Amino acid sequence: MPSLAAFARPADCEAFREKSGPELVGTEVTSVLQLKNVHKAFSGVPALAGVDAALSENSYVSLLGPSGSGKTTLLRVIAGFDQPDGGEILFAGKRIDSIPPHERGIGFVFQNFALFPHLSVAQNIAFGLSNRAVDPVTDTKIVAAKVRDMIGLVGLSGLEDRAVTQISGGQKQRVALARTLVTEPSMVLLDEPLGALDANLRTRMRGELRTIRERCGVTFLHVTGSETEALAMGDTVLVLDRGRIAQSADAGTLYSRPASADVARFLNCYNIFPGAVSGDAFESPVGRLALGGTRLTSGKQAYAIRYDRVAIRPRDAAAAGDEVRIEASFVASEYSGAAINSFFTLDDGRVFEVETHLSHAAPEAFEEKARYALVWKREDALVFD
Amino acid sequence: MTMAATHHDTSVETAAPPTRKQPDRTALLLAPGVLWMLLFLVAPILMMVYVSFWTQTTFKIEPTLTLKSWVAFFSSETYLGALWTTIRIWLIVLVSTLLVGYPAALFVGLFVKNKTLSTALLVLCVIPFWTSFLIRVLAWRPMLGKEGAINMILMKIGVITQPIEVLLFSELSVIIGMTQIYCVFMVGPIAFMLGRIDPSVIEAAQDLGAGFWRIFRTIILPLSMPGVVVGAIFVSVMVLGEFATSAALSGRKVNLLGNIIVTQVGSLKWAFAAVAGVVLTILMGAVVAALLRVVDLRKEL
Ligand SMILES: Nc1ncnc2c1ncn2[C@@H]1O[C@H](COP(=O)(O)OP(=O)(O)OP(=O)(O)O)[C@@H](O)[C@H]1O
Ligand SMILES: [Mg+2]
């Protein structure tokens, strides 16, 4: 079955595929945080337009959304820094809307870390333990012991007495996390915690965040604008779009069954055509695309085909009966590690992207401006209507 | 000869390394300031120290070195009293400007989230300086005087039966006046430092469970200390050198070192004036040095 090779899964998905096992089966997991129709507007402009979500205990949840979709606003409302205009927030079954932030027991890791600039690494981490209003730890020995354990957990040993202005970005990130974790919050909110780090460190910290979370056993809600980060890290991925949760699913489901064309667009791995279903085909600007794939109900009609499900063939190659074929001119290719992404322009000027995995085929040299046939199986397409 | 000169010129031109331009420019930029300071600050102060050892007679002063003026200063009740009054008033004004100024700075620098508004409020603090010193002093008299507004109102509502006399022409009126004038020099630097605190740092402290007073003591106060020190230096230097407010509001009852200098200069007692001047300069230097030890400004700013 050589043709299947071209439809292989991208490397990015491998990471989440392993872990999306047991949770799916649906053992009764209690939700630690519930949001019911949460609203928030800034001077009349809605930032959150009715958010509904339930986060299960002891899990890693990522919140994916484009810039301005209300991610930070949602976290600030959950932490209590901003008041929602309406709706309910339940934490461990209790309403917390009117409880001040310092009594909520929810940790917040800021995007810019927000470390206390005049304190050392150890003092930063000890801050919450000795200064909290509820049940502060007054025994300095206990504080020191807890701080030492936490420093070990996040891998900051040796930097205890360093000023936080004199450590690297990745180390600051760990201090920010340790400072929150040491207070043993029932939940941790992380606002783009890896955004300030360089690409290398980001990949390494992904793994570390997951490991640290597993050791602490609390729920992490991790906000990110990067679809790969959201898919790789979250046991559950929430997609926020224009102040609403557009989808809440495990990474595997989200990736292969996005709930709408907009969600598919955020995932950045689907070619999407507008148009409408008519008869046994989808009427799109590039022609009639025969139906046969998964039909999904969503507000807007669209046809989506994943980058890695498309094969590039010479123009004269014929399509099999169960395939859809369009023509396009080749523009350029781009290597991205184990895959190569090829860009084509369709007849209506639209850009079409194809992802080919190098483990399955040697890279082919395509001729610029030459026309090729782009072919995929009918059943691989998603049709939203 | 001409040949040699030309040769010399070119060799200088080519030999001069490009880096030599740097110190040249530094010297050029610093020269006016340094020259000005030497001529009009350092030289006069040294001159003052020198004059303080001259011999003072009733009508003239001679450059014969003597310790007489110094001995006279430190054995005179009046002068030592003035030194003590200066220190006492300085300390009280410093504390009162801090007590009045810090909350105002806290409001302007931290609680007003809108940057434009906080700048506008700081400008408001400077409004008293839009009137002249004399006019403000003139305005305080009908306010603080025996038949002034405060006494009138307090008598009307029956809090007091006799007018409070210490309100005007007393140490209290001098302290009220100085606090009013110098408060803004305390508010400015503190508000500036508070404005630089990242709001998310305070939110982080809140999130970690700390209440307002804890956050104030452990985060806000330490981070604003450089502002407090700079404000304290401004206020100290100005209050220690004061003479006008005490002259206008104390009815000559409060004599500061500054007032001593003014009267001595007025009666041509240059040597005595110089002694008082040297004492005042040393006092200011000590105060500034002590304040600078509180916070390492170079590290914090
Ligand atoms: N303090 C504020 N005042 C007015 N409008 C605000 C405020 N904070 C956020 N908004 C608006 O609310 C919307 C959501 O903002 P939010 O910061 O939550 O987005 P985000 O998803 O975190 O974006 P990003 O990924 O860029 O951080 C935006 O349109 C933003 O302009
Ligand atoms: Mg944000």
**What Rg, from alpha-carbon coordinates, does chain A have?**
24
Q: With left for phi above 0 and alpha for psi between -120 and 50, is residue A68 left, alpha or beta?
A: left
CATH dotted code for A4-255: 3.40.50.300
- Tokens at residue A348, please? 């209506």
Q: List per-block mean pLDDT (blocks of 10 residues) for chain B, which spans 301 residues.
A: 42 48 81 92 91 85 87 90 94 96 93 86 81 80 83 87 82 89 92 92 92 94 94 95 87 87 89 92 94 76 57
Res A344: pLDDT: 94
* Pair (B236, B92) in one structural domain: yes
Domain count, chain B: 2
Res B7: pLDDT: 46
Torsion on CA atoms B293, B294, B300, B301, rounded to nearest 10: -80
More confidently predicted of A63 and B167 = A63
In this structure, what CATH number is given to the domain that contains residue B131?
1.10.3720.10
Residue B277 lies in a domain: yes
* Long-range contact pairs involving B1-5 (C-beta distance under 8 Å, separation at least 24): none
- Tokens at residue A232, please? 């790789």
User: Over chain A, what is the mean pLDDT?
Assistant: 86
Res B297: pLDDT: 66
> What's domain A269-384's architecture?
Beta Barrel (2.40)
* Pair (B182, B295) in one structural domain: yes
pLDDT tens digits for range A32-62:
899 999 999 999 899 999 999 999 989 999 9
**For A31-62, what is the HEC assignment?**
EEEEEEEEEEEECCEEEEEEEEEEEECCCEEE
Residue B97 lies in a domain: yes
Cα–Cα distance, B259 to A46 (Å, whole number): 65
State if residue A67 touches ligand 1 by the CB under 6 angstroms criterion: yes
Res A361: pLDDT: 67
Does position A29 have pLDDT exceeding 80, yes or no? no
Chain B positions touching A102 (Cβ under 8 A) are 206-211
Chain B positions touching A114 (Cβ under 8 A) are 198, 200-201, 203-204
Q: Which amino acid is at A103?
A: E
Give B167's DSSP letter.
G
Cα–Cα distance, A109 to A175 (Å, whole number): 10
Ion ligand 2: protein residues whose beta carbon lies under 5 Å: A 72
Residue B183 lies in a domain: yes
Residue B233 lies in a domain: yes
Tally of CB atoms within 10 A around B151: 20
Q: Which amino acid is at B276?
A: A
Instruction: Kindly indicate the confidence band of residue A170, based on its pLDDT and cuts at 50, 70 and 90.
Output: confident
Residue A158 CA, distance from chain mean position: 33
Phi, psi of A95 (to 5 degrees): -75, 130
* Pair (B33, B114) in one structural domain: no
Q: What is the mean pLDDT of residues A248-275?
A: 91
Res B21: pLDDT: 57
3-state secondary structure of A246: strand
More confidently predicted of A140 and A200 = A140
* CA angle (B142 as vertex; B139, B148 as ends), nearest 5: 150
* Pair (B129, B179) in one structural domain: yes
A118-122, A195-199, A241-245, B117-121: the lowest-pLDDT one: A195-199
Ligand 1 atom 1 nearest Cα:
A42
Beta-strand relationship, A244-249 and A236-241: antiparallel
* Pair (B32, B95) in one structural domain: no
Q: Which residues of A76-89 are buried (b: 16+ CB within 10 A; e: fewer)?
A: bbbbbbbebeebeb
Residue B62 lies in a domain: no
* Pair (B13, B85) in one structural domain: no
A contact residues 179-218, partner B, Cβ 8 Å cutoff: 179-180, 183
Domain hosting residue B218, numbered range? 77-300
> What are the extents of the domains in chain A?
4-255, 269-384
CA distance A103 to chain B (A): 6
* Pair (B170, B25) in one structural domain: no
**Residue (of B237, B230, B238, B234) closest to B192 by Cα position:** B230
Chain B positions touching A128 (Cβ under 8 A) are 208-210
Are domains A4-255 and A269-384 of this chain identical in fold? no
Pick from A118, A133, A180: CB nearest B214: A133
* Pair (B157, B267) in one structural domain: yes
**Cβ(B186)–Cβ(B99) below 8 Å:** no
Does position A162 have pLDDT exceeding 50, yes or no? yes
**Cβ(B73)–Cβ(B275) below 8 Å:** yes
* Pair (B152, B251) in one structural domain: yes
Residue B264 lies in a domain: yes
3-state secondary structure of B272: helix
Contacts of A376 by beta carbon, 8 Å cutoff, 6+ apart? A7, A305, A309, A310, A311, A323, A324
Q: What is the ipTM of this complex?
A: 0.76
Q: pTM to 2 decimals?
A: 0.78
Q: State the residue for tokens 């490397």.
A: A11
Q: What is the mean pLDDT of residues A152-173?
A: 90
pLDDT tens digits for range A95-134:
998 888 888 889 999 988 999 999 999 999 999 999 998 8
The residues with which A281 forms a beta bridge, in sequence order, are A278, A290
Res B118: pLDDT: 85
